[in-house]
Amino acid sequence: MAANSMPNPNSQINQLTSEIFSILENNFLFGYQNSPSPPPQTIKSVAGKIRILSIDGGGATEGILAAKSILHLESTIRRISGDPNAHIADYFDVVAGSGIGGVLAALLFTKGKNDRPLFTAGEALMFVTKNGARLCRSSKLRRIFQHPAKLFDRTFRDLTLKDTLTTVLIPCYDLTTGAAFVFSRADAMEMNGCDFKLSDVCAATMAAGRPTTTLSVDRRTKIAAVGGEFAMNNPTAAAITHVLFNKQEFPYCNGVDDLLVVSLGNGELASMTGGNRTPSRTVMVKIVGEAVSDTVDQAVSMAFGQSRKNGYVRIQGNRGLLGDSDEKKVEANDMLKQHNVESVLFQGKKCNGTNMEKLEFFAGEILKENDRRKTNMLPVVLLNQTTTSSSARTSSATTISTISSN
């Protein structure tokens, strides 16, 4: 009898899935405010909001735009909080990054000396600015400059996913299984076969041309990785899904009303096709990646509904407003001064303040959440600190089918 009285976790997951799809159906087909029947009401968490930072894969400037946005966000947090030593990693519970966004996530959310972040936002910006030629997609430049894998080895040494400060999600595409593979701190803590060196993680999510063979620390997991931009150029939806289904670490998160999401793009492509000339394969990959990123942004924005004003922001440069693509630093500053464009699927786009103003507003919201947690007895995040099992977790982000015993 006692066993029959235990709650069925599968039924809870199915109920949550049903609610998510019901909300999406109402929002996508009818629009949030014009829905013929109101979406089901989720119970707002009494614990607080989960703060998510999502960083796109490479755009026209290979990470400069996103890095500049992060620097402005960190600088604003330092100014408002009065803490000159505040790091971006202190104020986010989850970070997801694809391609160059994954490299930025690793730089900013990995433990350095005294368990503080390895890089500040300013240092991360200098890293991508200085090493842009090594990290770019051009195979010709990679033959001229040192391969980025060696750069990552020097930067991260023997640090692994277990050495990150919070929940980290970095995707690539595994040619072995023909599916996306997400490097996840949560999975690394639960399964030894999912812990990877961060240098290998960055090389995998930046892989271009030929696949990069990537082995877990215990050598039980082997993947043939190509870049994260092929898998999910905009990882925002993957991060939200991970949080909603990961009840081990986010037990009180019931829906999008319990999320605070900052999604950073890397700028839309400038004209790279040369008029009517057929685009190269590299350009086509970038076009597809950016088109998917826009779709993800619009879908997530609609899913937030009325909550998106205070719960979700997308920072993205807009084509035609950025200036010369060779002047990356100027371009990044111009992007922050641009009008912030809010996109809603089937409802068009509208401008609402500038990107800089949006970042500053959300910095305030992030600090409000930080202050609220100081007086709340309920933990918002239960971050796993030890490896507990060699079996798969139900909320795993990775493709578990690639794990095998030697």
Active site residues: 98
The residue among 168, 144, 142, 161 whose CA lies nearest residue 214 is: 161
d(CA 243, CA 259): 9
Question: Contact at 8 Å (CB) between 213 and 402?
Answer: no
Please, which contacts does 75-80 make with residues 24 or more away whose CB atoms are closer than 8 Å? 75/121, 76/359, 76/360, 76/363, 77/363, 77/366, 77/367, 80/363, 80/364, 80/367
Structure tokens at 115: 């368990």
DSSP state letters, 331-381 = HHHHHHHSEEEEEETTTEEEEEEEHHHHHHHHHHHHHHHHHHHHT-SS-S-
Structure tokens at 48: 């607080």
- The total number of residues shown for the chain amounts to 406
The residue among 236, 210, 230 whose CA lies nearest residue 314 is: 236
Q: Which residues contact 41 (CB under 8 A, 6 or more apart)?
A: none
The amino acid present at 286, given as its one-letter code, is K
In angstroms, the Cα distances linking 113 to 67, 70, 135, 225 are 22, 21, 26, 30
The residue among 49, 52, 244 whose CA lies nearest residue 167 is: 52
CB burial class (10 A; 0-12, 13-18, 19+) of residue 270?
Answer: middle
Q: Which helix (H) or strand (E) holds 184?
A: strand 179-184
